Amino acid sequence: MCKKSEKQYFVQVGNRQVEVNHEVYLEIYKDYLYEKNQERKRRRYNVLSLDAMNEENNNVYDFVPDLRSNTEEEAIHEVTIHKIKEILKEIDKDNIILLKYLHEYSESEIAAVLGISQAAVSKKMQKVMEILRSFVL
C-alpha cells in the first residue's frame, strides 16, 4: 500500500528555500499576513509609530528634546531674572532711563530728557555699567 504523500512547505531564508513542517509554515504565514495588514492600515490611516525608525535610523525620540536636562537651565534662568530685578531696584529712576541708552538713545538725547548735562549722563552711565558689571562677575 502506497502512503499518500504529504504536502511540502518551503519558506524563503535569505537566498535559499528551506523546507519546514506545516505548523511552522502556518506561523510564518500568520506573521506575514499580520505585517501586510499593518502596512495597509498605516497607508490607509497614515499611522505614525513613535518607535518606528525612519530612513536615517532615527526614531521620534531622537528629535524630542529631553525636558529633564532643561530643568537646570530653567532654574539658572529664573535665578538670573531674579538677580536682574534686584539690581534694577537698586538703580534709581534716572538711571533706569539711562538703561534706555542701550536701546539707541544718545547721551545728548538722554541729557535732554533728564534736563542735565551730557557729562552728568556720562557719569551716570558709568555708574550703571559698574552695577551691571558687578552682577556679571
Per-residue pLDDT tens over the stretch 46-58: 756 655 555 566 6
pLDDT recorded at residue 137: 62
pLDDT recorded at residue 2: 42
> Which among 99, 103, 107 is positioned nearest to 135, based on CA atoms?
99
pLDDT recorded at residue 1: 40
Which cell goes with 16? 535559499
pLDDT recorded at residue 5: 55
Region for residue 54 given its phi and psi (left: phi exceeds 0; alpha: psi -120 to 50; beta: otherwise): beta
Cell 545728548 locates to 108
Domain boundaries, the chain: 9-62, 67-136
Instruction: Please give the radius of gyration of the chain, using alpha carbons only, rounded to the nearest integer.
Output: 37
Residue numbers in the chain where pLDDT is lower than 50 = 1-3
pLDDT recorded at residue 92: 64
Q: Which CATH class is domain 67-136?
A: mainly alpha
